[in-house]
Amino acid sequence: SDMTLLDTATLPHAIAWNDRRFMMASLDHAMWFHRPFRADEWLLYAQESPSAHGARGFTMGHLFTRNGNLVVSVAQEGLIRPLGEAPRDG
């Protein structure tokens, strides 16, 4: 649930999770399961970032079933810092 969640805070700044110029680390992560669901069926994962400031990003996600039931809520705060000069390939 957290592989792409921090991207929600960084993409508006043109930073992807695999951008080697930055270091990202999860500071905390929580999940709340609201009702039973099948993980092998279609799910919509809606993500948002209400705050990104001071090298920290706060993100939230909600998973919905095909018929619109909210089944999982997720929250994560992460640290996002520049590394300085990007490592060179080769």
Residue in 1, 7, 26, 28 annotated catalytic: 26
Sheet of 43-53: strands edge to edge? Answer: 22-33, 70-82, 56-65, 43-53
Would you state the structure tokens that stand for residue 51, as one six-digit string?
């705050």
Cα dist from 13 to 19, 28, 31, 88, whole Å = 12, 22, 26, 22
**Under 8 Å between Cβ of 48 and 12:** no
To the query of whether residue 2 is one of the catalytic residues in this protein, the response is yes
Catalytic, out of 7, 47, 49, 76: 76
Catalytic-labelled residue, pool 1, 2, 19, 73 = 2
Residue 51 falls in the annotated catalytic set: no
Distance CA 42, CA 39 (A): 8
Active site residue 76: yes
Active site residues: 2, 26, 76
